[in-house]
Amino acid sequence: MSESLAAAGARVAIIYRGSKDAVEIAEQIGKDNNVRCKAYKCDVSDADLVTKTFKEINDELGPVTGLVANAGVSVVKPALEMTKDDFEKVFTVNVLGVFNAARAAAKLWVDSKYQGGSIVITSSMSSQIINQVGAGKPLTQIFYNSSKAAVSNLMKGLAAEWAQHNIRVNAVCPGYVETDQTSSMEESIRNYQASQVPLGRFAKPHEMAPQTLLLLSDYASYMTGEEYFVHG
């Protein structure tokens, strides 16, 4: 996503929590695309730190005009074995972290009277379905699915509240995507899931970028409060 934004000419701030390579990756993206790109370490569950980080980004890279909120984690185990810690792990990142980032961006825009800010939240097709690993075999990630349903509704609420400030808020809902996590799944599960997709395959990560770029741009100036499914 960061590479696609930079290739489109955007100044890019990458917020990360623990990646060892984030700083170097950001520098390389900037060099490859001749734009400013910098990584900022921040735990999105810490609202005060998120606000501070966004102000730092605004000061160092120039005015923030858009946000892609795509932090996400999952815990896979049967519902009867789920714990409060599992719930907090998932919802703290997937919902609270997204809200903290969105609020920090919106506060910058409201305080500066900037018109036209756009927030794109990465939700998931899992906001509306229960993923399957085989016929009649649900993927046991109940907190992930429910957190994505929550964040999609969060998006709609923020879009309604912030429309008065000309801030647009939308969500992109990916389907099955080739990631480190999905590539390590059993081949039989991958094949079954791919068979449920009309195009018959998982998406490449770069195929998620065009919808996000559209929603960030002025071409989507009359689009807010909606989920956009990119699921083949």
Task: Report, as residue numbers or ranges, the catalytic residues.
Answer: 124, 144, 148
Q: Please state, in angstroms and rounded to a whole number, the distance separating the CA atoms of residues 214 and 73.
A: 25
- Dihedral sign for Cα atoms in the order 194, 131, 90, 68: positive
Interior/surface letters 49-83, b for 16+ CB within 10 angstroms, e for the rest: ebbebbeebbeebeebebbbbbbbebbeeeeeebe
Those residues whose C-beta lies under 8 Å from the C-beta of residue 46, and which sit 6 or more positions away, are 100
What is the rounded distance in angstroms from the CA atom of residue 85 to the CA atom of residue 124? 22
